[in-house]
Structure 1
Amino acid sequence: MTLNRRDFVTRSAATAAGAALAGGAALAAAPSAAAAQPDAAAAKGQQRKPRTQAFTVMGTTDLHGRVLNWDYFTDAEYTDKAHNAVGLAKISTLANQVREEKGWDRCLLIDSGDTIQGTQLSYYYARIESIDTEANTVPDHPMAVAMNLMEYDAAALGNHEFNYGIPLLKAYEEQLEFPLLGANALNAKNEKPAFKPYVIKELRLGGGRPVRVGILGLTNPGIAIWDKANVSGKMVFPGIVETAATWVPKMKAAGADVIVVSAHSGCDEATTWGDQLPWAENVSVALAETVPDIDAVLVGHAHKEVPQRLVVNKKTGRTVVLSEPLCYGQRLTCFDFEVEFTGGAWKVASVSSRLLNSNTVPENPEITDAIAGQHKKVVAYVNQNIGTSKIALSIADAPFKATPIIDLIGRVQADAVKAALAGGQYANLPVLAQAAPFNRTALIPSGQVKLRDAAGLYIYENTLEARILTGAQLKDYLEYSVKYYNQLAPGAPVDKDKLTGAEATPDYNYDSLYGLSYDIDIAQPKGSRIVNLSFQGKPIDPAAEFVLAVNNYRANGGGNFPHVAKAKMVWSNSDEIRNTMIAWVKAKGVIDPADFFTDSWRLVRAGQPVF
């Protein structure tokens, strides 16, 4: 980063956004973790007034491949009920506005991970025209292009950075003009960091030496489960709090006056992997409470909006400021610091955090122009025709009743596994399939079906596996899945908005099983809800063996479903389920629910249907 570059950047977009800061008033400043005892000179009675200066650390998280305010699944500008906007092009405008107000050399910009997965734009440059290539010409990754132009200073690794494998991640890292940080992303052989643990940035604020801002990056230990196939035997991911306790003192010893942690870990939400790992998933609050000398934590991973949360460190009694900007570039966090140069050192006097809303500003044309060609290429890719559908298939009701669109996923997966096992020792076992409602806005239209329609239905880069489970184990699996529903007594009014999400269970952790029939009695407590469980019209045999077609996230323990992670694997595929679906539709030509919809489960109360 140079002064010349900062002076050169087009400032028109930032100037046009004058109203944005007005919408994000700073919250009350919190006492800093770095606030120290009165300096030695003052203690001796000297009255020299400390020199006070200010700077701002801006942060994003969970961008998930969003550069433009565009939805590649609908082929239209992004929109939602809250009128949010997404993408780095808008964040760039906000960031430049903050720089204009505070001073370009008094600002840092960091990210908390999950940048290169989530849209067809990022997918295209991972799988279609991959940046991980031996060709003479290597394409630029659009996220790298945008973040380099925006002059990011550092970014932590997220768990989705590993979805495409370590080689592609390293290829992405090579394109960045700032460090990817991961103090707890270690080489398996020697347990040394595979990525830079931290970086210290110097800001010249005037008076005294530069203030040294240390940025520590920490990623999520769940990578060992969620991306097991990509990292097993290659990398390990120890706990966030434990790792920070090692590295924060090293950063202080290296001269950091201020320490900001960029942690791909929610504040204190429940852990989704049970006891499969000895570390928790969402520990940013525990981090702030436990490890001394941290001033602020940029929180990620949970996809929540946290303007400011104050946490008192249990060892020092000092306050740490946490903030999580809403995912996809919908918000920008600003940590506003005041520091004093006293006793020959910079010490934090106060820090507060606030959020800026990207829907208040236009996109920065510098960013939109830079990836215009890539955007056009991806739009053409997702608009390929792959087949037709006899009727429109919506996922909107999938959490509440059996729907053809979820059975389509199940049928595609079951067909793929049956074909793979044909002629082998497991060919005679019945094949079932799990599926979950990943995207509540997914829709396959009547008539022409495009690639983006299938991609919008299966938004994750999951691959397919086949595991053997017994009838008894499948019932356990379903009982665990339907904890998703809140208990509702017979006759009580039904509110769909309050019916699902019990125990903070997200939609992607609610599975139905294609090939089985059953009722879910939501009047019963969890663990006793599956009734009338049958296979091919007969009660399921608890001892019978079945092949379950299951995505790799679930098979590796994601969601902590019982039995499946330890079940015998009889087949696996390295290609994404999304591509299997696209190929299935191309081969069939026509999507006809009469070919696959089984209407095999329903919600009941005391035997009476809820819907």
Structure 2
Amino acid sequence: MSITLNRRAFLASTAGFIALHPFSANAATNQAHLRIMETTDLHVHVFPYDYYADKPRDTVGLARTASLIKGIRDEATNSLLIDNGDFLQGNPMGDYIAYERGMKDGDIHPVIAAMNTLGFDASTLGNHEFNYGLDFLMKSLAGANFPVVNANIALELGSDPTKDKTLIPPYVILDHQVTDGSGATHDIKVGLIGFVPPQVMGWDRRHLEGNVQARDILETAKAYLPQMKEQGADVIIALSHSGIGDADASDGMENASVPLAGMDGIDAILTGHSHLVFPSPGYADFAGVDVDAGTLMGTPACMGGFWGSHMGLIDLLIEKDGNEWRVVSAQSEARPISKRNEDRSTTALVDSDETVLSSVQQEHDETLEYIRRAVGKTDAPLHSYFALVADDPSVQIVSIAQLWYIEQMMKGTEHEGLPILSAAAPFKAGGRGGPEYFTDVPKGDVAIKNVSDLYLYPNTARAVRVTGQQVKDWLERSAGMFNQVEPGAQDVVLLNPSFPSYNFDVIDGVTYQIDLSQPSKYDPKGVLLDADASRIVDLQFDGAPLDMTAEFIIATNNYRAGGGGSFPGATPETTVFEGPDTNRDVIVRYIVEQGTISPRADGNWSFKPMAGTSVLFDTGPAASAYLDQVNANIEAAGDGPDGFARFRITL
């Protein structure tokens, strides 16, 4: 039986009364409405506060998302609140707890305290849960008043996934009670199974190698789903901390949610990891995805943005047939906590939940003290508004600090004497983070909050040993950031939106140009497209053409050296140094030693000139204040979408 939705009734409110969702209002005897509420990729954002900018922010915070929950619960006869992972790391509060306060046995992590306050029913792990190590993770999970599940990370592998000794329970079957359309109650069993990208083994190698092993998501699901059915699960929900990607299955997929959703036995799927929203028009052309229906492979799905920006919702109308329950109709959506206005400002749609704020007030106050400590001074502003289109001071200072550190670490080793280069990428460069998501540190004191702003992730320092050819190919991989531009073309869109800024490595210690008229050698994921393609031209070291057979050390981080981003030459096999220090700590130490830093881009890379050609790119509106500091022919070109400003480069 299917229910026709009356959208006008949905969310209608009169005299303080919130109307029931049609599934609840129209359910028949032996039919029940089960609403699944999802948060995902919270990254410790409990307060609506930007710790990097040290100011309130309307668009983030579980405390604001929490204000949606009561009304959303009131619309449904039966509901579950579930988190989809990446809750422990991602802002300075997370770093403060991990690096300064620590987690002792019996401590409650602030994000866990907030989730306990809201009465979450379950969660799964995201890849960033492993950033601080397994001991920190397990102590944090111990404070949760709800089950946390993950099926594809194991302490020991068995003959098949169901024989593995998993790090935490692979799934849970909740005994839940639902009320049907006649008011009668029924006991049902809701199965929840969790998955994380197996790439965590490379991303957090230092914490995980030798301690756990990862399995393929789809292989693991195929093994466990029949077992969950045998154990009585009436409805199975996959908690997939994995993005919406290819529909065709392949081994070791990072973004496996589409083929996962197509597996027999899964009734609904919660997705995440990508920091995007589903259903949304951005997925309209994806195979196996129906944006209008809110389904992946016909299975209802949602993705609730990131940092608490949205509440993902899946509404299931379930019907009892004999002793079994089946889904007869479904609906998905994602509700925002804020809206963007025409003048680029944002307006909160809900207030913060005071009980959630109170649950972490002490840690919030301590975090503010932590981020405001001065460690040195800068005699020029540090900003990333033009980091994707010109050599940039915010990337430059990271590169210089890494180089300073690795030069010390190479002394007395077999690698001493090799020339050292440094690779760094802009982390805050707009994109999915929005038009305010840029590094912007004014001239003057540099505090810990500013270093966190420069380097978002708790990566650790690494060094790899590579050839000149691998240096060139590393840069060719980075140059995939740009669309191909025909000479003489006017106002071509420059940046490839599917290429994340954290994979745009600039290598200091060499000079080079990027020829935009040439095709990219690699696709946005690092897959070789054209072995003969060459965008990197006039590549020089020490004033002479780079010797392709010479050897170099590149200072980088554990993510890149572990294979993150699939950069040629950046592998565990080429890694010659694994530092005990985070890249952030390296930057802090460098600033402390220098006292005052002078972050000025040295112009070691640029675009190859193309007569009569221009390109467009979008960045934050505040970029205008720094336009005269950029070593490129850039001018304002009006407004971009979603609050961004548009600029033109004449090549």
- Give TM-score scaled by structure 2 length: 0.80
Moved more, 205-214 or 548-557: 205-214
User: Mind listing any 5+ residue stretches in structure 1 that lack a counterpart?
Assistant: 1-13, 30-48, 80-84
Cα distance in 2 for partners of 1:240, 1:579 equals: 34
Instruction: Show the counterpart of 1:193.
Output: 166
Residue by residue over 1:108-153, the C-alpha shift from the partner in whole angstroms, topping out at 9 and shown as x without a partner, is: 111111111100011111111111x37xxx5421111001111111
Instruction: Show the counterpart of 2:508.
Output: 514
Q: Is the 8 A contact 1:27 1:354 kept in 2?
A: no
Cα distance in 2 for partners of 1:424, 1:20 equals: 72
Cα distance in 2 for partners of 1:27, 1:404 equals: 55
Cα distance in 1 for partners of 2:53, 2:297 equals: 47
Instruction: Show the counterpart of 1:488.
Output: 485
Q: Which of 493, 499, 504 is matched with 1:505 structurally?
A: 499
Deviation beyond 6 Å, 4+ runs, structure 1: 16-22, 25-29
Q: Which of 292, 302, 308 is matched with 1:329 structurally?
A: 308
Q: Partner letter of residue 154 of structure 2?
A: L
Tell me the CA shift for residue 541 of structure 1. 1.2
Instruction: Show the counterpart of 1:306.
Output: 278
Q: Does 1:92 align with 2:69?
A: no
Cα distance in 1 for partners of 2:371, 2:243 equals: 32
Aligned-partner SS, 2:166: coil
1:256-275 superposed matches below 5 A: 256-268=233-245
Q: Does 1:588 align with 2:567?
A: no
Instruction: Show the counterpart of 1:604.
Output: 608
Residue by residue over 1:33-64, the C-alpha shift from the partner in whole angstroms, topping out at 9 and shown as x without a partner, is: xxxxxxxxxxxxxxxx8522212111111111
Q: Which of 98, 109, 127 is matched with 2:81 structurally?
A: 109
Q: Which of 331, 344, 352 is matched with 2:323 structurally?
A: 344
Q: Partner letter of residue 558 of structure 1?
A: G
Q: Is the 8 A contact 1:557 1:565 kept in 2?
A: yes
Tell me the CA shift for residue 238 of structure 1. 1.0
Cα distance in 2 for partners of 1:284, 1:318 equals: 10
Q: Partner letter of residue 116 of structure 1?
A: L
Aligned-partner SS, 1:109: strand
Q: Is the 8 A contact 2:381 2:599 kept in 1?
A: no
Residue by residue over 1:537-563, the C-alpha shift from the partner in whole angstroms, topping out at 9 and shown as x without a partner, is: 111111111111011101000001112
Instruction: Show the counterpart of 2:209.
Output: 232
User: Is the alpha carbon distance of 1:86 and 1:248 closer, same or farther for their aligned partners in structure 2, counting shifts above 3 Å?
Assistant: same
Tell me the CA shift for residue 164 of structure 1. 0.7
Instruction: Show the counterpart of 2:108.
Output: 140
Residue by residue over 1:398-442, the C-alpha shift from the partner in whole angstroms, topping out at 9 and shown as x without a partner, is: 100111221111100000000111233322111100000111210
Q: Which of 396, 408, 422 is matched with 2:411 structurally?
A: 422
Cα distance in 2 for partners of 1:164, 1:319 equals: 37
Instruction: Show the counterpart of 1:410.
Output: 399
Q: Which of 340, 343, 364 is matched with 1:375 structurally?
A: 364
Q: Is the 8 A contact 1:522 1:603 kept in 2?
A: yes
Q: Which of 447, 459, 463 is matched with 1:462 structurally?
A: 459
User: Is the alpha carbon distance of 1:415 and 1:89 closer, same or farther for their aligned partners in structure 2, counting shifts above 3 Å?
Assistant: same
Aligned-partner SS, 2:307: helix
Aligned-partner SS, 2:239: strand
Residue by residue over 1:243-272, the C-alpha shift from the partner in whole angstroms, topping out at 9 and shown as x without a partner, is: 11111111111111111111011111599x
Q: Which of 44, 48, 56 is matched with 2:35 structurally?
A: 56
Aligned-partner SS, 1:488: coil
Cα distance in 1 for partners of 2:83, 2:60 equals: 15
User: Is the alpha carbon distance of 1:208 and 1:565 closer, same or farther for their aligned partners in structure 2, counting shifts above 3 Å?
Assistant: same
Cα distance in 2 for partners of 1:239, 1:20 equals: 47
Aligned-partner SS, 2:571: helix
Tell me the CA shift for residue 182 of structure 1. 0.5
Cα distance in 1 for partners of 2:23, 2:405 equals: 57
Instruction: Show the counterpart of 1:157.
Output: 125
Instruction: Show the counterpart of 2:102.
Output: 130
Cα distance in 1 for partners of 2:247, 2:505 equals: 19
Cα distance in 2 for partners of 1:60, 1:20 equals: 25
Tell me the CA shift for residue 17 of structure 1. 13
Tell me the CA shift for residue 530 of structure 1. 0.5
User: Is the alpha carbon distance of 1:17 and 1:179 closer, same or farther for their aligned partners in structure 2, counting shifts above 3 Å?
Assistant: farther
Q: Is the 8 A contact 2:38 2:81 kept in 1?
A: yes
Instruction: Show the counterpart of 1:179.
Output: 147
Instruction: Show the counterpart of 1:205.
Output: 178
Q: Is the 8 A contact 1:482 1:526 kept in 2?
A: yes
User: Is the alpha carbon distance of 1:55 and 1:547 closer, same or farther for their aligned partners in structure 2, counting shifts above 3 Å?
Assistant: same
Q: Which of 530, 534, 538 is matched with 1:532 structurally?
A: 538
Q: Is the 8 A contact 1:468 1:567 kept in 2?
A: no
User: Is the alpha carbon distance of 1:293 and 1:21 closer, same or farther for their aligned partners in structure 2, counting shifts above 3 Å?
Assistant: farther
Q: Is the 8 A contact 2:156 2:166 kept in 1?
A: no
Cα distance in 1 for partners of 2:597, 2:424 equals: 18
User: Is the alpha carbon distance of 1:548 and 1:143 closer, same or farther for their aligned partners in structure 2, counting shifts above 3 Å?
Assistant: same
Cα distance in 2 for partners of 1:375, 1:107 equals: 30
Moved more, 443-452 or 65-74: 443-452
Q: Does 1:398 align with 2:387?
A: yes
Q: Does 1:76 align with 2:44?
A: no
Instruction: Show the counterpart of 1:453.
Output: 450
Aligned-partner SS, 2:142: helix
Aligned-partner SS, 2:301: strand
User: Is the alpha carbon distance of 1:475 and 1:53 closer, same or farther for their aligned partners in structure 2, counting shifts above 3 Å?
Assistant: same
Cα distance in 2 for partners of 1:270, 1:57 equals: 24
User: Is the alpha carbon distance of 1:469 and 1:270 closer, same or farther for their aligned partners in structure 2, counting shifts above 3 Å?
Assistant: farther
Cα distance in 2 for partners of 1:238, 1:284 equals: 15
User: Is the alpha carbon distance of 1:568 and 1:460 closer, same or farther for their aligned partners in structure 2, counting shifts above 3 Å?
Assistant: same
Tell me the CA shift for residue 592 of structure 1. 1.1
Cα distance in 2 for partners of 1:561, 1:395 equals: 23
> When you count helix as a share of all residues, which structure comes out higher?
1
Cα distance in 2 for partners of 1:208, 1:102 equals: 14
Instruction: Show the counterpart of 2:526.
Output: none
Q: Is the 8 A contact 1:185 1:193 kept in 2?
A: yes
Instruction: Show the counterpart of 1:121.
Output: 93
Cα distance in 2 for partners of 1:199, 1:151 equals: 17
User: Is the alpha carbon distance of 1:54 and 1:419 closer, same or farther for their aligned partners in structure 2, counting shifts above 3 Å?
Assistant: same
Instruction: Show the counterpart of 1:214.
Output: 191
Residue by residue over 1:277-315, the C-alpha shift from the partner in whole angstroms, topping out at 9 and shown as x without a partner, is: 9311111111122x1121110001111111278869xxx
User: Is the alpha carbon distance of 1:248 and 1:129 closer, same or farther for their aligned partners in structure 2, counting shifts above 3 Å?
Assistant: same
User: Is the alpha carbon distance of 1:430 and 1:122 closer, same or farther for their aligned partners in structure 2, counting shifts above 3 Å?
Assistant: same
Moved more, 558-567 or 581-590: 558-567
User: Is the alpha carbon distance of 1:470 and 1:116 closer, same or farther for their aligned partners in structure 2, counting shifts above 3 Å?
Assistant: same
Q: Is the 8 A contact 2:23 2:33 kept in 1?
A: no
Q: Which of 262, 267, 286 is matched with 1:295 structurally?
A: 267
Aligned residues, how many?
A: 552
Tell me the CA shift for residue 364 of structure 1. 0.5
Q: Does 1:577 align with 2:583?
A: yes
- Give TM-score scaled by structure 1 length: 0.85
Q: Does 1:319 align with 2:298?
A: yes
Cα distance in 2 for partners of 1:430, 1:113 equals: 41
Q: Is the 8 A contact 2:190 2:234 kept in 1?
A: yes
* Aligned Cα root-mean-square deviation (Å): 2.8
Instruction: Show the counterpart of 1:170.
Output: 138
Q: Is the 8 A contact 1:189 1:234 kept in 2?
A: no
User: Mind listing any 5+ residue stretches in structure 2 that lack a counterpart?
Assistant: 1-10, 159-163, 291-295, 339-348, 430-437, 522-533, 614-631, 633-649
Cα distance in 2 for partners of 1:119, 1:297 equals: 27
